[in-house]
């Protein structure tokens, strides 16, 4: 019989991590998989609240208590089927969602007793089901006549392709990279998400009939016009790729690098992918990373693994106001990263040959809240100092980077360059060009894997509504 007070006897237990010294040398996932027994104990902690806050806080509204119950009973294949009803890439979300801010943050047991380990269970269910031969069941799908082009094989594009295919449409996905995944592959490092997980998902999606045309940049290898002409509808999930400049004197010095090209080239080097960005080796270097978000955390931890002699992360607010996931800050600290809070960079200092030698910083105190409610860092006069550095990585985030061909096809963007595609429009996530839908970072601005998945799925439903409306009109 189920014991609702199980959470009193059984503490929250995260999956075991590899020892910090060992993992700081390897680009492999640091969390070890749960055993079935751990999974049962952890799933059994769920109170099955009448109004599950975790489900509401999860952007795709996963049926969390229901698949926890199936997992607890060992019904992994059914749990995987249920997980896929709301999420196209549950194994990715289980690994990379900031659960402390989402589902687990909203768990009734959070704080006092420790939230249910929802993310780890989601990961276990999908990994284990796939190991047992689970595949999406498309036996009841009725083929449709429509053929959709998805541009961008990131989480938004993959989720859109998944939902369209499960509803009978034919889908071709185009991406300029040699592998699918977008930032899941060419951004998020392997110690958070091993690339074999993405390749396994690719096999499943191809098995569903989705066609991938990779190494194919729309606007260069094929014109957008041709894509629009050849398909019933188009989904855009191009992401956001324009790095925010630091605006610091000396920013173009040798040894100063932008975060994303550094991370992309590192993964490409390990996985053997051909990319344009050159590999940057930080072995034996004193590295300073500027920024406090997830990208900065990925940079510091990649630098450690490359063999940097020291890695410091300078962030202009305090730890409580850092945008990066708490979990990743803890992991970075364990791996030897030094955090310097309340430090605002002022300039990059170089030697006579133009090579970076230090970052000039000033200490800050937190002032009043800005329009988003975050307290402003205010420089403390006279606290200027130098952080010696052989390499500097700039991780200040990304701005939308809409290609010029959007405007020539009547696709409107806002003042920040985000594509306008309202979720609540006549057909969800339709752009100002009725044949074109969009979602993910290019609509929301830089955000999360799970919110990109959510929008990709909603755009697919919007397209299906549009196709059905056209059929009704023809009849």
DSSP strand pairing (375-379 vs 356-369): antiparallel
Question: Cα torsion at 333, 338, 344, 346 (round to 10°)?
Answer: -140
Which helix (H) or strand (E) segment is 249 a member of?
A: none
The residue count for binding ligand FAD (CB under 6 A) is 38
Given 183, 289, 358, 421, the residue binding ligand FAD (CB under 6 A): 183
If 0-12 CB within 10 Å is exposed, 13-18 middle and 19+ buried, where does residue 34 land? Answer: buried
What are the distances in angstroms from CA 176 to CA 149, 153, 158, 240, 358? Answer: 14, 9, 14, 14, 36
**Residue 290's binding partner out of ligand SF4, ligand FAD, none, with CB under 5 to 8 Å set by partner kind:** none
* 219 sits near ligand FAD (criterion: CB under 6 A): yes
* 100 sits near ligand FAD (criterion: CB under 6 A): no
Q: Which residues pair with 233 in a beta bridge?
A: 148
Query: How many residues in the chain?
Result: 475
Angle (CA) 160-156-166 rounded to 5° is 20
Given 14, 40, 423, 447, the residue binding ligand FAD (CB under 6 A): 447
* 177 sits near ligand FAD (criterion: CB under 6 A): yes
Cα–Cα distance measured from residue 144 to residue 402, given in angstroms and rounded to the nearest whole number: 31
**Residue 296's binding partner out of ligand SF4, ligand FAD, none, with CB under 5 to 8 Å set by partner kind:** none
Which chain residues interact with ligand SF4 by CB under 6 A?
58, 60, 62, 64, 87, 93-94, 97, 99, 102-103, 118-119, 122, 450
**Residue 64's binding partner out of ligand FAD, ligand SF4, none, with CB under 5 to 8 Å set by partner kind:** ligand SF4
Nearest residue to 88 via CA among 216, 198, 228, 168 = 198
What are the distances in angstroms from CA 249 to CA 253, 343, 346, 350? Answer: 9, 16, 8, 10
**Residue 175's binding partner out of ligand SF4, ligand FAD, none, with CB under 5 to 8 Å set by partner kind:** ligand FAD
**Residue 103's binding partner out of ligand FAD, ligand SF4, none, with CB under 5 to 8 Å set by partner kind:** ligand SF4
Identify which of residues 42 and 258 has a Cβ nearer to ligand SF4 in the complex. Answer: 42
* 390 sits near ligand FAD (criterion: CB under 6 A): no
Given 15, 187, 291, 402, the residue binding ligand FAD (CB under 6 A): 187
Distance in Å, CB of 195 to ligand FAD, minimum: 13
Return the SS3 of 227: helix
What are the distances in angstroms from CA 393 to CA 291, 385, 423, 444? Answer: 9, 18, 36, 25
* 119 sits near ligand FAD (criterion: CB under 6 A): no
Contacts with ligand FAD by CB under 6 A lie at 96-97, 151-157, 174-177, 182-183, 187-188, 192, 217-219, 237-239, 260, 263, 294-295, 298, 403, 440-441, 446-450, 452
């Amino acid at each position: 019989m189920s014991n609702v007070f199980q959470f009193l006897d059984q503490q929250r237990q995260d999956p075991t991590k590899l020892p910090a010294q060992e993992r700081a040398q390897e680009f492999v996932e640091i969390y070890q998989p749960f055993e079935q027994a751990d999974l049962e104990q952890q799933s059994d902690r769920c109170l099955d609240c009448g109004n599950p806050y975790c489900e509401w806080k999860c952007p795709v509204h996963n049926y969390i208590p229901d698949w926890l119950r199936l997992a607890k009973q060992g019904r992994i294949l059914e749990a995987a089927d249920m997980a896929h009803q709301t999420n196209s890439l549950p194994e990715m979300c289980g690994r990379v969602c900031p659960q402390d801010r989402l589902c687990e943050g909203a768990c009734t047991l959070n704080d006092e007793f420790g939230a249910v380990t929802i993310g780890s269970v989601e990961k276990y269910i999908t990994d284990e089901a796939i190991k047992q031969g689970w595949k999406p069941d498309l036996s009841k799908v009725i083929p449709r006549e429509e053929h959709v082009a998805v541009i961008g094989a990131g989480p938004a594009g993959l989720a859109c392709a998944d939902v369209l295919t499960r509803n009978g449409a034919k889908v071709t996905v185009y991406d300029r990279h040699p592998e699918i995944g977008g930032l899941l592959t060419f951004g998020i490092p392997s110690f958070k998400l091993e690339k074999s997980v993405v390749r396994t998902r690719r096999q499943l999606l191809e098995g569903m009939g989705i066609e991938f045309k990779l190494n194919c940049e729309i606007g260069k290898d094929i014109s957008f016009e041709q894509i629009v002409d050849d398909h019933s509808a188009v989904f855009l999930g191009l992401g956001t790729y324009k790095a925010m400049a630091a605006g610091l004197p000396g920013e173009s010095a040798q040894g100063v690098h932008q975060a994303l090209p550094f991370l992309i080239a590192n993964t490409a080097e390990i996985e053997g992918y051909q990319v344009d960005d050159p590999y940057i080796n930080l072995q034996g270097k004193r590295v300073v990373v500027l920024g406090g978000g997830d990208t900065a955390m990925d940079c510091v931890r990649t630098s450690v693994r490359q063999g940097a002699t020291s890695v410091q992360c300078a962030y202009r607010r305090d730890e409580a106001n850092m945008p990066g996931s708490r979990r990743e800050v803890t992991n970075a600290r364990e791996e030897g990263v030094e955090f310097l809070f309340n430090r605002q960079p002022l300039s990059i200092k170089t030697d006579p040959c133009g090579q970076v030698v230090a970052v000039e910083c000033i200490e800050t105190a937190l002032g009043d809240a800005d329009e988003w409610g975050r307290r402003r860092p205010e420089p403390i006069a006279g606290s200027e100092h130098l952080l010696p550095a052989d390499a500097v990585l700039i991780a200040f985030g990304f701005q939308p980077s809409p290609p010029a061909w959007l405007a020539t096809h009547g696709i409107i963007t806002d003042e920040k360059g985000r594509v306008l595609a309202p979720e609540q429009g006549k057909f969800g996530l339709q752009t100002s060009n009725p044949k074109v839908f969009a979602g993910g970072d290019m609509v929301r601005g830089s955000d999360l894997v799970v919110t990109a998945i959510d929008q990709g799925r909603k755009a697919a439903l919007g397209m299906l509504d549009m196709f059905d409306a056209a059929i009704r009109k023809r009849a």
